[in-house]
Structure 1
Amino acid sequence: MSGLRFVDVCAGAGGLALGLEQAGFEPVLLLDNKPVACDTLRLNRPRWNVLEMDLLDFVPDEHPQTYDVDLLSAGLPRVKSSATVARAETNEEERLLEAAVLLTYSIQPRAMIIENVPGLVDAEAFEPLRDFVRKELEHLGYRLHWFVLNAADFGVPQDRKQGVLVALKERYYGSFRPPVPTVDEHVSVGGALRRSMGARGWSGADAWAAQAIGVAPTLVGGSDNRGGADLGPTGTKAAWARMGVNGGALADEAPGPEVHRYPGLIKLTDAQAALVQSFPADWLFAGRKTARYRQIGHASPPPVGKALGTAVADALRG
């Protein structure tokens, strides 16, 4: 089992897929329903087989290269709490998660990764959904690991907790170990962005970085039905303000020599938000500024994908 192959659904801007690639997996198909996300994938990896389609419409029989892959991965839209669902007309996110699970009937991967909200792992509100997942996958001979990871433990300068399901066929289950932290100390926002902040000659870059000593709050991509890009809800904006950042909007470029921060706050660019997600600096995002930021905010940080991919690869290789 030298070359490990995977299918990635709801691939978005490619954060999870990029991490899996770094762990030694090769994609046979990546699926997403957003044209701009598919453009991003093709822009960075022209050789990848990218399919623009809604997961609910995807028929594996029409794509036989997906059969019998090593891994099916899904960085799905965040499922909602029961209180939120009660106010919604439909629960599209839950339907997508169920659809991803049901793909195992056709694709029959050796392993599956689903990444979502931390509450999916153990919150009472999600017990019916976990029960559905458990029954469907155990029926096909998988055994399940549920756990929570924090991206900050893998070198991402962000407090971003992710609920993870790793399901493996019985023969590989006992060899799997959830990823362990790869850093002894968390990377600060200042440490991650100092060079970028000073790239246009802003004299305050070092002083700003010296006080931005914590990890960032979770980046929030927001809804396509909402206005312009910002860094998150009120509490998130307050956390950014304590690090000298205006979380209410994005800048078009890094601060230059003309900028005097105090008493004001600086704004991040979408490229700096991508660094907070630990995308490589050369990973490009298609679309206009708001569309770029939403892809970034919704993504799974590549270092987390790499850690998960490495753990699954180790189990599959015994």
Structure 2
Amino acid sequence: MSDLRFVDVCAGAGGLSLGLEQAGFEPALLLDKKDVACETLRVNRPAWRVVEADLLDFSPSRHQEIYDADLLAAGLPRVRSGASVAQGGSDAELRLLEATVYLAHAVQPQALVIENVPGLVDAPDYEAVRSFIREELHHLGYRFRWIVLNAADFGVPQDRRQGVLVALREKHFDAFRPPEPTAGEYLSVGQALRQSMAARGWRDVDRWAERAHGVAPTLVGGSDRRGGADLGPTGTKKAWARMGVDGNTVADDVPGPDFVWDPEAGRDGMVRITTEQAALLQGFPPDWRFAGRKTARYRQIGHASPPPVGRALGLAVRAALGGPAAGVAGYTPTS
């Protein structure tokens, strides 16, 4: 089992796929319905098999390469609380979750990983969804476990809690161990962004980095139906303001040498982060490029699964499946 393969649906900008690659998995197919996300994937990994299609319309029989995949992975749009399969699954997010579970019928992977909101793990409002998943997976012969992971525990400078379903074939399930935190201490926003903030000679960078001593609040990608890019709802923007960051917009560039940082003076005295810096806060490597205009780039980043979390999940699943760990730390990405 030296070459474990995965299928990633709703792949977005590739955060989960990149993490799985770092864990030693090879991609069989990546699926996303947005052209800009598919362009991002192809720019960074030309050798990956990327299919631009809606999961709800996806026909597995036309893509034979998925049938020998060991892992089916999905970082899905957030399912709303109270969504009910019994009511016909009218919510688009719920229908995508259902489609992922049904795709497992066709792919028959050894393992299934679905990432979504933390509430999906145990909140009463999601019981109907969990009941549907439980019945379907038991029917297919899987055992499963719900876990909540925080990206900050894996070296990502962001408080980002993720609810994760990990299902495995009966013969592998008892060998599965949830990922253990890899970060001895949290990486702060100031530590993560100091070098990039200083790139144009900003004189106040050290004073700002000292103030930005905590992890970032959860980045929110927002909806395509909204206006331009910002860092999230009101509470999130207040958290950014305490770090001296204006969360109402995303910058085109980092501050120049003469920018006066004076957060007490209001938004004009606050620094703003760029899309490239938002990607660093999600744990993407600096050389990962995002297609599209600024708002499209930021939304891809905000919706992504942090690659370090994907790597931790991939290593945990790989160990349960019996895949060798040798050489994973110094992986060589496919190009």
TM-score range, shorter chain: over 0.9
1:301 aligns with 2:323: no
Q: 1:279 aligns with which of 267, 278, 284?
A: 284
Matched, 1:17 2:22: no
* Superposition map of 1:24-103 within 5 A: 24-82=24-82, 90-103=90-103
Aligned residues, how many?
A: 315
Q: Please tell me whether residue 266 in structure 1 is matched to residue 284 in structure 2.
A: no
What are the superposed Cα offsets for residues 201-248 of structure 1, whole Å, 9 maximum, x if unpaired? 000111110111100000000000000000000000000000010000
CA contact (8 A) 1:189 1:276 kept: yes
Counterpart position of 1:242: 242
Q: 1:84 to 1:7 in 2, by over 3 A?
A: closer
In 2, the alpha carbon distance for the partners of 1:18 and 1:83 equals 30
1:135 aligns with 2:135: yes
Deviations 1:119-157 (A, max 9, x none): 000011111111111110111110011010000000000
Query: Is the CA contact (8 Å cut-off) linking 1:68 and 1:110 kept in structure 2?
Result: no
Q: Could you report, residue by residue, the CA deviation over 1:27-46 in whole angstroms, capped at 9, with x for unpaired residues? A: 01000000000000000000
Which residue of 2 is the match for residue 120 of structure 1? 120
Q: Secondary structure at the match of 2:68?
A: coil
SS at match of 1:191: helix
Mapping of residues 216-255 of structure 1, within 5 Å: 216-255=216-255
Q: Among all aligned residue pairs of Structure 1 and Structure 2, give the percentage whose two residues are the same amino acid.
A: 69
CA RMSD of aligned residues (A): 1.4
Q: Distance in 2 between matches of 1:33 and 1:69?
A: 21
Give 1:290's aligned residue. 295
> Please, what TM-score do these two structures have when normalized by structure 2?
0.92
Deviations 1:50-98 (A, max 9, x none): 000000011111111100311000000000122999xxx9400000000
The alignment status of 1:200 with 2:200, answered yes or no, reads: yes
Asked whether the 8 Å contact 2:278–2:298 carries over to 1, the reply is yes
The answer for the alignment partner of 2:318 in structure 1 is 313
Residue 131 of structure 1 aligns with an amino acid whose one-letter code is S
Query: Aligned equivalents of 1:244 and 1:220: distance in 2?
Result: 19
Specify the alignment match of 1:180 in structure 2: 180
Would you identify which runs of 4 or more consecutive aligned residues in structure 1 move more than 3 Å? none
State how far apart, in whole Å, the 2-side matches of 1:258 and 1:36 are: 35
Q: Unaligned 5+ residue runs, structure 1?
A: none
Report the AA paired with residue 37 of structure 2: A
Q: In the alignment, residue 288 of structure 1 is paired with which amino acid?
A: R
Unmatched 5+ stretches in structure 2: 324-335
Equivalent residue of 1:209, what SS? helix
Inter-partner Cα distance in structure 1 for 2:68 and 2:106? 9
Q: TM-score, normalised by structure 1?
A: 0.97
Distance 2:164 2:80 in 1: 15
Distance 2:198 2:137 in 1: 50
Cα distance in 1 between the residues matched to 2:216 and 2:304: 15
Deviation at 1:291, TM superposition (A): 0.2
- Distance in structure 2 (CA, Å) of the matches to 1:317 and 1:104: 21
Q: From the superposition, tell whether residues 84 and 213 of structure 1 become closer, same or farther in structure 2 (CA, over 3 Å).
A: farther
Question: Relative to structure 1, is the Cα distance of residues 17 and 123 closer, same or farther in structure 2, using a 3 angstrom cutoff?
Answer: same
> In structure 2, what residue type is equivalent to 1:118?
P
Structure 2 contact 83–94 (Cα < 8 Å) conserved = no
Shift of 1:184: 1.3
